[in-house]
A and B are shown apart, each in its own frame.
Chain A
Amino acid sequence: MSAAVIVGVLAAGGTYLILQRGIVRIALGFVLLGHAATTLLIAAGGVGTRAVPFAGAGADAADPLPQAFALTAIVIAFGITAFLLALAFRSRDVQGDDDLEDGR
């Protein structure tokens, strides 16, 4: 149940933000959506067994595969955030702020 709520809350917050003006808020929204995706991956792997998945962890070990997926997903999301920030930066350089919709 907690997994469903955390995914839903993060997805809702991220969705709200990417529909706003301004690249920075959109970037923040993407960060939240990234969280939603990684938590969904872990939830999909099952939350019943929670021991650290090291060799010899036994029957209680968590599923390592979703964790590997989630780990790379976090780093990729970081890369995308960095790129969105560069866009915001450039937008400030070119038009004075990061608002994508003013004066159009």
Chain B
Amino acid sequence: MLLPLVVAAPIIAAGLTPLLGRRLGRAVLLVDGAVLLGVTATLAGRLPAVLDGDVVTFRRPWLPELGLDVALRLDGLAFAFALVVAGIGTLVMVYAWRYFAASDPAAVRIAALLTLFAGAMLGVVLADDIILLFIAWELTSITSFFLIGGDGKGSTGATRALLVTALGGLALLAGAVLLSLTTGTTSIAGIAAAAGAVAASPLVVPIVLLVLLAAGSKSAQFPLHFWLPGAMVAPTPVSTYLHAATMVKAGVYLLLRLAPVFDGVALWQVSLVLVGGTTAVLGAWVAVVQHDLKRLMAYSTVSQLGLLTALAGLGTPLALGIATVHVLAHALFKAALFMTVGVVDHETGTRDLRRLGGLRRQLPLTAAAGTLAALSMAGLPPLLGFVTKEEALAAFVKGGGTPWLATTGLVLIVVASVGTVGYSLRYVAGTFLGPVRTPAHRPAVAFELPALLLAVAGLALGPLSGTLTPLLDVVAEQLTGSTTGVKLALWHGITVPLLLSIGIVTGGVLLHRAGPAIERRLAGTRGPSGEDAFDRTYAATLRLGGRVRASATSDRPVAYLGPVLVVLAAVLWTATATVEPAGTPPTSDPLDTLTVGLVAVAVVGVVQARSRIAAVAALGLTGFLVAGWFALHGAPDLALTQLLVETLTVALVVVVFRRLPDTFARGGRLRRRGAAAVAATVGAGTALLTWRLTGRRGRSAVGDRFLAEAEPITGGDNVVNTILVDFRALDTLGEVTVLLVAALGIYTLVRRPSVRPLGPPAGSPVRAGGDGFRGDGAIESTILRVMTDVLAPALLLTSGWLLLRGHDAVGGGFIGGLAAGAAVVLLYLSRGHQRMWQSRWFRTLPMVGTGLAIAGGYGLAGLVADGAFLAGGKVTLPGGTSVAASLVFDVGVFLVVVGLVVAVLRHLGQGLPEDAPVSARGGPVGEPEGRR
């Protein structure tokens, strides 16, 4: 249970941090630091066992179907990284406690995120399942994003960092999937054991490239290095922890962890050594000319990560082992350096080298820490950095694999190291020596102490570097199977690495001397920048997305409808042309022809009408004629439904029209001609299709069956109605639901009282007042009032009768509901909206809701009684007559239809609320005029 606890403790602490932070403020950082200290101590307690080569594992099934486990593993490599994460984390928390002002609310947020990050990072280095590693890896990217861009001003840098590392994350996922496909396991130890399968696989090239992309993006390798200097807008504790000591090492960790898998793969070796070496040189020499101390340190980190990558590529036992120890050394000196930069920045207000100097008197502790750490970075004895740099050089001198590669790597590392010495001296001399340029405040001791501790540790471990030899060997042996045969020490005699070191330091000192001259030469020149390239690509991607979106979005319905209709017409014509009609064409009556002729006239009227009222009148006429056509074709139910729907449509359109200008907005000539052309094509196509493909056979078999069996099965004579409520009742339930959705749509669109008064809109030339409508929507007419008093109850009674008899004769729920809707419209027109709004009966949601509940309840009752949803059947009444149970269903249909009419009248037929304040311009107060 040790390993899950190590990962879970920081994550749990992160979750509790915001709660504790409310009480403790920035002191919560110390609580989180204590948690990390506990983790450090726990890990340290395992040190003897780890050095003996013991490996602790933990494994619980996670998604057994996919073969994924929550698998953790602590070996030498994982131990070194985990110790860095927890140990540096502890000191960073103490440092951050003094970095943030007591009143700074960011402190708690940063504390939570840093602690969460620590948990994620421990997950990365301890995971033994490559998918689990991926998840933890992504979590570090996300926490990094929020830590960089937290206060908003760093959002550009944060976005760059996130996108680059997210790209790497995707590459890691793809590489992980390919690796597990090749080896048949997601266990990292299992993958390493199956290294031969990977090397033999044709997928080895994409796998290597994906892993390299993943590690290169995370560990800021050229040409993806640019995000790291950009991430320096983060608070210094964040830069210290994530962007110097730990997160950027995740890529190196991945390379070291997978190095055994790619042992002997030439592409792996060559690309890693060359990319790493180039990055090392580039980072070091760019760092030499930086003025901003944080950017200097960031480029220095890029350079060091390049060295580590090259070592991972070399892949010999010594290279992998010394890379791990150098990670330790680098964490010690680089974290210390960032902390000192933070102290300088905090106490002087600047981190520009041109404005700094002479701080050794005012910040003696920081000056000591900074100097020790910088000398360790430069690789000077007797510091730990010297020992690890020596052995790194030795690893390249000894070589391994292709000879030219090790030599090339050695040259690159030596050139980079000269730059390293140069910028290390520049930092020390520029910040702590020389005249005072910007005075410093006195920092709290706790603010300076963490850096000093780390620097002194780097000093002590130089002479004591022999104690690290077991770690070097255990890592090398676990990764490669053989030890290094090297004893870490300050003095090995006169060796090639020592001579190289002497040369490097000499070169570095000369470089430092020549520094001002080089700066003058470089002033004003600016090489190609990765940031610019990234930003251009990013902006271009967004522009491309915008264009794609623009082509698919428009406020003009014609933009959508036009293409759809043209395609539809093409399909119609093709279908008609390719299918050969069979059977004899249908005949028509003279009455048919007359009706169709009248329909054509009415349709032309609808299309041509300039005024709304004329259009609606022509529309109503069209509907009535279509109803007549239905009647001619033996469909009285349809005809009645059509008549009622048309009446209601006209009434409802008129209700809405009162709020709209009298005439239509006319389209231009192009639109009229184009629309006419499309309409003619669609119309002719549909006509042709109807002529050639329909009506050339008798009744359908299923129609015959319904005619024969409707009465025996359901007891209803009206076969159409039995289809609606019995045979295909599920369809009808769906259709009723559509009506309910329409009613809900109207309700939600226009729920609140209207924002504009009834009557003609501003600027309407005609009908200003005196349109016959009262303010609340009613028509001023005594005759109408009196007639409604008689007609409305009669209509309601009729609708009930239509509903009841529907099973046996013309009628049913739809028709009855529409008739009742007509009665409601009459009531509305004579009594006005106000009465309707206040009525307890005409309410949208209760009405449609009750209707659907009755229809659905009827279906469930059938399920309970007969084992089939909407089963139906007959019920025998006490008098002996039997009634179809589906009448209940029809009542539900009835209510939903009436509810829809009510919805339109309630929500679209509303007058101006009488107590609504009206502004001077005629609109209600509180709503902006014009379009929003």
Residues of A within 8 A of B (CB): 1-13, 15-22, 24-28, 31-32, 35-36, 38-40, 42-57, 61-68, 70-72, 74-83, 85-90, 92-104
Of B638, B656, B720, B731, the residue contacting A89 (CB under 8 A) is B656
Q: Is the CB of B555 within 8 A of A104?
A: yes
8 inter-chain pairs at a CB distance below 8 angstroms, sorted by A residue, are A4-B690, A8-B690, A17-B607, A20-B558, A28-B616, A46-B694, A62-B633, A65-B703
A10-B615 contact, Cβ under 8 Å, with A20-B664, A72-B735, A92-B761: no
In the assembled complex, B58 has its CB within 8 A of some CB on chain A: no
Q: Is the CB of A6 within 8 A of B719?
A: no
B538 contacts which chain A residues (CB < 8 A)?
none
Q: Is the CB of A97 within 8 A of B750?
A: no
Chain A CB within 10 A, most for which of B558, B604, B666, B687: B687
Closest residue of A by beta carbon distance from B682:
A15
Of B612, B720, B745, the residue contacting A83 (CB under 8 A) is B745
**Chain B contacts with A in 811-848, Cβ cutoff 8 A:** 814, 818
Q: Is the CB of A12 within 8 A of B699?
A: no
Of A62, A76, A98, the residue contacting B660 (CB under 8 A) is A98
**Chain B contacts with A in 830-876, Cβ cutoff 8 A:** none
Shortest 3 CB-CB contacts between residues of A and residues of B: A12-B683, A8-B687, A62-B634
Q: Is the CB of A43 within 8 A of B711?
A: no
B353 contacts which chain A residues (CB < 8 A)?
none
In the bound assembly, the distance between CA atoms of A20 and B676 in angstroms comes to: 10
A103 contacts which chain B residues (CB < 8 A)?
931
B189 contacts which chain A residues (CB < 8 A)?
none
Nearest Cβ on chain A to B929's Cβ, whole angstroms: 9
Of A3, A31, A42, A87, the residue contacting B635 (CB under 8 A) is A42
Q: Is the CB of A90 within 8 A of B558?
A: no
Q: Is the CB of B904 within 8 A of A82?
A: yes
Q: Is the CB of B588 within 8 A of A15?
A: no
B98 contacts which chain A residues (CB < 8 A)?
none
A32 contacts which chain B residues (CB < 8 A)?
603, 606, 619, 622
In the bound assembly, the distance between CA atoms of A98 and B932 in angstroms comes to: 14
Q: Is the CB of A83 within 8 A of B588?
A: no
Nearest Cβ on chain B to A54's Cβ, whole angstroms: 5
Q: Is the CB of B746 within 8 A of A82?
A: yes
Contact-size category for B: 35 or more
Closest residue of A by beta carbon distance from B559:
A101
Nearest Cβ on chain B to A17's Cβ, whole angstroms: 6
B818 contacts which chain A residues (CB < 8 A)?
75, 78
Q: Is the CB of B660 within 8 A of A88?
A: yes
B732 contacts which chain A residues (CB < 8 A)?
72
Q: How many A-B residue pairs have CB under 8 A?
A: 335
In the bound assembly, the distance between CA atoms of A80 and B741 in angstroms comes to: 10
Given contacts A39-B626, A79-B743, 15 further A-B contacts (CB under 8 A): A2-B595, A7-B687, A12-B683, A12-B686, A19-B678, A24-B656, A24-B660, A26-B557, A27-B653, A46-B694, A48-B586, A66-B703, A68-B728, A76-B738, A96-B931
Chain B CB within 10 A, most for which of A5, A82, A101: A82
Nearest Cβ on chain A to B736's Cβ, whole angstroms: 9
A65 contacts which chain B residues (CB < 8 A)?
700, 702-703, 706, 723
In the assembled complex, B665 has its CB within 8 A of some CB on chain A: yes
Closest residue of B by beta carbon distance from A82:
B904
In the assembled complex, B485 has its CB within 8 A of some CB on chain A: no
In the bound assembly, the distance between CA atoms of A48 and B738 in angstroms comes to: 33
B6 contacts which chain A residues (CB < 8 A)?
none
Flag the segment in B366-374, B395-403, B640-648 that touches A: B640-648
Q: Is the CB of B633 within 8 A of A78?
A: no
Q: Is the CB of B724 within 8 A of A72?
A: yes
Of B633, B691, B700, B739, the residue contacting A79 (CB under 8 A) is B739
Q: Is the CB of B687 within 8 A of A82?
A: no
Q: Is the CB of A4 within 8 A of B687?
A: yes
Nearest Cβ on chain A to B257's Cβ, whole angstroms: 57
Closest residue of A by beta carbon distance from B565:
A15
Nearest Cβ on chain B to A20's Cβ, whole angstroms: 6
In the bound assembly, the distance between CA atoms of A88 and B723 in angstroms comes to: 35
Of B652, B676, B719, the residue contacting A16 (CB under 8 A) is B676
Closest residue of B by beta carbon distance from A77:
B645
A24-B612 contact, Cβ under 8 Å, with A43-B695, A76-B738: yes
A90-B749 contact, Cβ under 8 Å, with A6-B596, A19-B565, A67-B720: yes
Closest residue of B by beta carbon distance from A91:
B660
Of A43, A68, A92, the residue contacting B720 (CB under 8 A) is A68
In the bound assembly, the distance between CA atoms of A72 and B619 in angstroms comes to: 20
Chain B CB within 10 A, most for which of A36, A53, A90, A92: A53
B82 contacts which chain A residues (CB < 8 A)?
none
In the bound assembly, the distance between CA atoms of A19 and B667 in angstroms comes to: 9
Of A19, A27, A54, A66, the residue contacting B718 (CB under 8 A) is A54
Q: Is the CB of B665 within 8 A of A40?
A: no
Nearest Cβ on chain A to B727's Cβ, whole angstroms: 8
Q: Is the CB of A85 within 8 A of B653?
A: yes
In the bound assembly, the distance between CA atoms of A94 and B641 in angstroms comes to: 34
Q: Is the CB of A97 within 8 A of B660?
A: yes
Q: Is the CB of B638 within 8 A of A46?
A: no
In the assembled complex, B234 has its CB within 8 A of some CB on chain A: no
Nearest Cβ on chain B to A53's Cβ, whole angstroms: 5
A80 contacts which chain B residues (CB < 8 A)?
742
Q: Is the CB of B761 within 8 A of A97?
A: yes
A24-B565 contact, Cβ under 8 Å, with A5-B600, A15-B675: no
Closest residue of A by beta carbon distance from B676:
A16
In the bound assembly, the distance between CA atoms of A88 and B657 in angstroms comes to: 9
Q: Is the CB of B632 within 8 A of A50?
A: yes
A11 contacts which chain B residues (CB < 8 A)?
682-683, 686-687
Closest residue of B by beta carbon distance from A37:
B686
In the assembled complex, B671 has its CB within 8 A of some CB on chain A: yes
In the assembled complex, B319 has its CB within 8 A of some CB on chain A: no
In the assembled complex, B688 has its CB within 8 A of some CB on chain A: yes
Of B622, B642, B720, the residue contacting A53 (CB under 8 A) is B720
Q: Is the CB of A49 within 8 A of B698?
A: yes
In the bound assembly, the distance between CA atoms of A2 and B589 in angstroms comes to: 8
Q: Is the CB of B622 within 8 A of A35?
A: yes
A27 contacts which chain B residues (CB < 8 A)?
653
In the bound assembly, the distance between CA atoms of A72 and B636 in angstroms comes to: 14
Nearest Cβ on chain B to A18's Cβ, whole angstroms: 5
In the assembled complex, B659 has its CB within 8 A of some CB on chain A: yes
B592 contacts which chain A residues (CB < 8 A)?
2-3
In the bound assembly, the distance between CA atoms of A24 and B616 in angstroms comes to: 10
In the bound assembly, the distance between CA atoms of A51 and B755 in angstroms comes to: 53
Q: Is the CB of A22 within 8 A of B755?
A: no
Q: Is the CB of A47 within 8 A of B633?
A: yes
In the assembled complex, B697 has its CB within 8 A of some CB on chain A: yes
B691 contacts which chain A residues (CB < 8 A)?
1, 3-4
Q: Is the CB of A83 within 8 A of B731?
A: no
A51 contacts which chain B residues (CB < 8 A)?
634
Of A31, A55, A83, the residue contacting B619 (CB under 8 A) is A31
B637 contacts which chain A residues (CB < 8 A)?
67, 71
Closest residue of A by beta carbon distance from B586:
A47
Nearest Cβ on chain B to A83's Cβ, whole angstroms: 5
In the bound assembly, the distance between CA atoms of A26 and B687 in angstroms comes to: 22
A19-B674 contact, Cβ under 8 Å, with A35-B622, A48-B587, A95-B931: yes
Of A4, A48, A74, A101, the residue contacting B642 (CB under 8 A) is A74
Chain B CB within 10 A, most for which of A46, A63, A94: A63
Closest residue of A by beta carbon distance from B725:
A68
Nearest Cβ on chain A to B581's Cβ, whole angstroms: 12
Chain A CB within 10 A, most for which of B556, B637, B710, B750: B637
In the bound assembly, the distance between CA atoms of A44 and B703 in angstroms comes to: 12
B761 contacts which chain A residues (CB < 8 A)?
92, 96-97
Q: Is the CB of A74 within 8 A of B645?
A: yes
Q: Is the CB of A85 within 8 A of B652?
A: yes
In the bound assembly, the distance between CA atoms of A104 and B717 in angstroms comes to: 57
In the assembled complex, B561 has its CB within 8 A of some CB on chain A: yes
B700 contacts which chain A residues (CB < 8 A)?
45-46, 63, 65
Q: Is the CB of B687 within 8 A of A70?
A: no
Q: Is the CB of B738 within 8 A of A61?
A: no
In the assembled complex, B599 has its CB within 8 A of some CB on chain A: yes
